[in-house]
Structure 1
Amino acid sequence: MGANSKIEWTTHTFNPWWGCTKVSEACKNCYAEAWSKRVGQKVWGPKAARRTMSDAHWKQPIKWNKDAEGATNRPRVFCASMADVFEDRPELIEPRDRLFDLIETTPHLDWLLLTKRPQNVRELARWGQEWPHNVWLGTTVELQTRADELLPYLAEIPAKVRFISAEPLLGPLDINAWLDSTIDWVITGGESGPKARPASPAWFRELHRQCMENSVAFHFKQWGDWGPGDGTNLPAKKRQLAQDGTEMLRLGKKQAGRILDGAEWDQLPRSRAL
């Protein structure tokens, strides 16, 4: 986390605070919750306090912005990997306002605000119908029910780029109705970690097909802990049939990799003129 992120679809990560509350099936095996517990931070759940950050931490994007002046490629800042900017809690009003101030004073950075709560954005964001050119808004849709519930809220917000994170993808998605007017970028991938659930390759291929047919940027982040292959010599606990019948092997995130049908998919969106 921080400068030079290892997350493939961003340049840096920035967290205005740490902590959140689970709200969907994608949250079941939350990596951020596991990491915070590992480092001794009890910041998860509705009753837990959120961890605030130092002034030195808040100065990092100012440096990134200065370094980016005149650069050919604009750095992307994922905000927030350890929280949700649009979690509605009274103690988050002040740091959220500070974040919005920071975004407005760093015009050479593209800020990627990914939320599981797009229904709160209209009320909690300050920008109304005039969003800054450097703010991309995304929401997590891991299942069709979540897409049907959340994408109408995403469509209401006039961000210059609107995107979805279908990670961990937990079922097939049909988002054709949203690709021509709402979604500019689809990020997808499988789940990692000790309790990871395998995804069906057919789910990723279908999402890729929908994006290509609608000229929408597609990013395949990872297979996760489970990848397709021939597991003849592996124990049964490391083999599982996916919903589409593909044998999935528990290889670990690194070995499973991020090749989908012979290629890495790292497409980026273009800003929407709204």
Structure 2
Amino acid sequence: MAEETGISWCDRTWSPWIGCTKVSPACDGCYAAHLMDTRLGRVEWGPHGERKRTSESYWRQLAKWDREAKAAGRTISVFPSLCDPWDNAADPGIRREWFAVMRETPHLLHLLLSKRPQNAVAMAEAAGGLPANAALGATCENQEIANRNVRYLLDAARDLRPAFSFVSAEPLLGPIDFTRISYGTAGGYDVVRDALKASDIERIDWVITGGETDQGSHKARPTHPAWFRQIRDACAAAGVPYHHKQNGEWLPIGDWYDDHPVSLVLREWHAGTWREVSLDNEEDYVARIGKKAAGRLLDGVEHNGFPEVRHG
């Protein structure tokens, strides 16, 4: 667990404990589970696996990074990549200790990304309240999950007042319209909200997108490029910072076709599923070319948006 990270949207990764349980389709290709359970055997992933607290020397890294950030006159962002902050199976005592250290390291910004935003309020309050230098995030891989997790995220943000609220749509496994988040029905009518244009605290402040990558026996599912573009354009229209982390293992064949032979496996999104196809109209298809070759450009542009941090 090195100090630097290849994750484009944060500066460092650091986790108070290691371990989690898969709870949604986005978890199927979990890199942390593949690394720490399958490859290294550090922890057993799942509801009965231990949430292993990381070492004392490892915990001291936060104070070290805080001193570095203060000396440089900057903020260092930290992402807990090997756990879920609001995991029901985690020891509440470790979370309280973690939050206390957050308060002692004000030059760090902790990016609390979770697939369980419904737990945020109760668990943060039990840990002494959300630190001012913590941002709340939720993973949303398709519209169904977004309809649920965005509601919980924004409700938690209203109560906890984080540094900002954000969504990671990685891996993006289906289209998401953040301007039409379903809040159920009332009076016989569907209730929808534009989560990008809501006022102040009750809106998403930052959106990250990314395609899936291979993790051992789990092979990456494709993302339709139109899904990335729709989120990018909606964020631009609302003035919400947008960050595109990666295309994953797949790329639109139109971005590859001109300079490379098309002896590739192609997939087309049709009737709610991906199917193998022969090359006809290359703009409609994606091809597996590998994470490195696919890169992180979207229509030739690198997107590195980052939100403003609320104070007070």
Normalising by structure 2, we get a TM-score of 0.82
Partner of 1:264: 302
Paired with 2:261 and 2:251, the residues of 1 have a C-alpha distance of 15
Query: Does the 8 Å CA contact 2:14/2:78 hold for their aligned counterparts?
Result: yes
The partner residue of 2:228 within 204, 212, 229 is 204
Paired with 1:235 and 1:19, the residues of 2 have a C-alpha distance of 40
Paired with 2:129 and 2:53, the residues of 1 have a C-alpha distance of 29
Paired with 2:240 and 2:300, the residues of 1 have a C-alpha distance of 20
Partner of 2:205: 184
Partner of 1:68: 69
Q: Give the counterpart letter for 2:171 in structure 1.
A: P
Partner of 2:268: 241
Aligned positions of 1:96-245 closer than 5 A: 96-126=95-125, 131-156=130-155, 157=157, 158-176=161-179, 177-181=194-198, 182-193=203-214, 194-229=218-253, 230=256, 233-235=261-263, 238-242=265-269
Paired with 1:185 and 1:148, the residues of 2 have a C-alpha distance of 17
Deviating more after overlay: 34-43 vs 190-199: 34-43
Which blocks of at least 5 consecutive residues in structure 1 are unaligned? none
Q: Give the counterpart letter for 1:257 in structure 2.
A: G
Partner of 2:280: none
Paired with 1:172 and 1:160, the residues of 2 have a C-alpha distance of 27
Report sequence identity in percent: 40
Which blocks of at least 5 consecutive residues in structure 2 are unaligned? 180-193, 275-282
Paired with 1:159 and 1:201, the residues of 2 have a C-alpha distance of 31
Q: Give the counterpart letter for 2:56 in structure 1.
A: D
Deviating more after overlay: 60-69 vs 27-36: 27-36
Cα 1:266–1:127 change in 2 (3 A) is: farther
Size of the aligned set, in residue pairs, is 271
Cα 1:129–1:98 change in 2 (3 A) is: closer
Q: Give the counterpart letter for 2:20 in structure 1.
A: C
Question: What are the superposed Cα offsets for residues 14-38 of structure 1, whole Å, 9 maximum, x if unpaired?
Answer: 1111110011110111111111120
Q: Give the counterpart letter for 1:180 in structure 2.
A: K
Normalising by structure 1, we get a TM-score of 0.92
Q: Give the counterpart letter for 1:49 in structure 2.
A: E
Query: Does the 8 Å CA contact 2:21/2:46 hold for their aligned counterparts?
Result: yes
Q: Give the counterpart letter for 1:239 in structure 2.
A: L
The partner residue of 1:252 within 287, 290, 307 is 290
Partner of 1:83: 83
How far did 1:3 drift? 1.4
Paired with 1:143 and 1:85, the residues of 2 have a C-alpha distance of 21
- Asked if 1:53 is matched to 2:80, the reply is no
Paired with 1:129 and 1:61, the residues of 2 have a C-alpha distance of 19
Paired with 1:61 and 1:47, the residues of 2 have a C-alpha distance of 29
Query: Does the 8 Å CA contact 2:74/2:107 hold for their aligned counterparts?
Result: no
Partner of 2:187: none
Query: Does the 8 Å CA contact 1:185/1:218 hold for their aligned counterparts?
Result: yes
User: Bigger radius of gyration, 1 or 2?
Assistant: 2
Aligned positions of 1:23-34 closer than 5 A: 23-34=23-34
Cα-Cα RMSD: 2.1
Query: Does the 8 Å CA contact 1:18/1:43 hold for their aligned counterparts?
Result: no
Which secondary structure state, in structure 2, belongs to the residue aligned with residue 169 of structure 1?
A: coil
Q: Give the counterpart letter for 1:187 in structure 2.
A: I
